[in-house]
Amino acid sequence: MTPPAPPPSGMPLSGSVVIKLGGAALPHRQTVLEDLRRVQGAGFRPILVHGGGPVISEWLQRLGKEPVFVNGLRQTDAETLEVAVMVLAGKVNKDLVAVLQGGGTPAVGLSGVDGGFIRARRQTSPDIGLVGEVEGIDPRPVEVLAGAGYVPVVAPIALGPEGALNVNADTVAGDIARALGAAGLIFLTDVAGVKDRAGNVLPALDRAHADALQREGVISGGMIPKVEACLRCLDRVAQATILDGGQPHAIVEHLLHGRTAGTVFKAPVPFS
């Protein structure tokens, strides 16, 4: 198969692409995973990082426990952590691997605890319980898997000094992309992109504009860690995108055809 020409978006064709699949997008996972197979066949090495927040919340409510969030991050006590590990590293991760395998794409599921490839310390500002702040990423496990033709499927559970810690999946995706020096970072979401004060989707965004929108409360809640992850990785990643997962085959359209439904963050200087 001859890879298509580089898309007009400026994204390099080939190389690792970290794709964060949000929990809200899990019902559409068949289409998403079909896109992963197509971009892998075109020469990219996709690495899938998944959330599972709605599934965690559902299981907590079954236990009679109401989920609590602070600045878009889940407050996590010992019981919540047990549920998060079981849901993320267990059910959600293995369901995604099974769908990929069933479609003929080799995939391996892992969490940051495996090989200690995501290391974290307990977050203290704000203190929201057993939530980790990433200290370091050893990209070798995902590099080896992706280089061998597997799609790594990563659950956002990190290794802390005293055991597992729950880590925001958006942050994990950005830190993995940065550690890899990936060709791109994509957040597949259930919104159309980052919006301005009038509610219009911004096709592009930089640090100064993002900071202003966050101060004004326009960027808030779960969008905050996505935007921060995009901006933070740009010293080593050429392009980061918050992509509208409601558009059919949004990943293929973005990576292979340069048609982006969402908001793009680009490095300030061209990468060689």
Residue positions annotated with a catalytic role: 20, 23, 53, 170, 226
Residue 24: Cβ-neighbour burial (10 angstroms; 0-12, 13-18, 19+): middle
- State the DSSP string of 75-122: -B-HHHHHHHHIIIIIIIHHHHHHHHHHTT--EEEEETTGGG-EEEEE
HSE-up of residue 63 (Cα within 13 Å, Cβ side): 14
- The encoded tokens of residue 77 equal 């006590």
Instruction: Return d(Cα 71, Cα 131) in angstroms, integer.
Output: 13
Instruction: Return d(Cα 132, Cα 76) in angstroms, integer.
Output: 10
- The encoded tokens of residue 272 equal 């060689």
- The encoded tokens of residue 100 equal 């990929």
Residue 72 vs residues 83, 170, 253: alpha-carbon distances, Å:
18, 11, 29
φ and ψ at 7, to 5 degrees? -70, 160
SS3 assignment, position 201: strand
Residues in the chain: 272
CA 132 to chain centre: 16
Instruction: Return d(Cα 104, Cα 12) in angstroms, integer.
Output: 26
Paired with 187 in beta bridges are 20, 242
SS3 assignment, position 116: helix
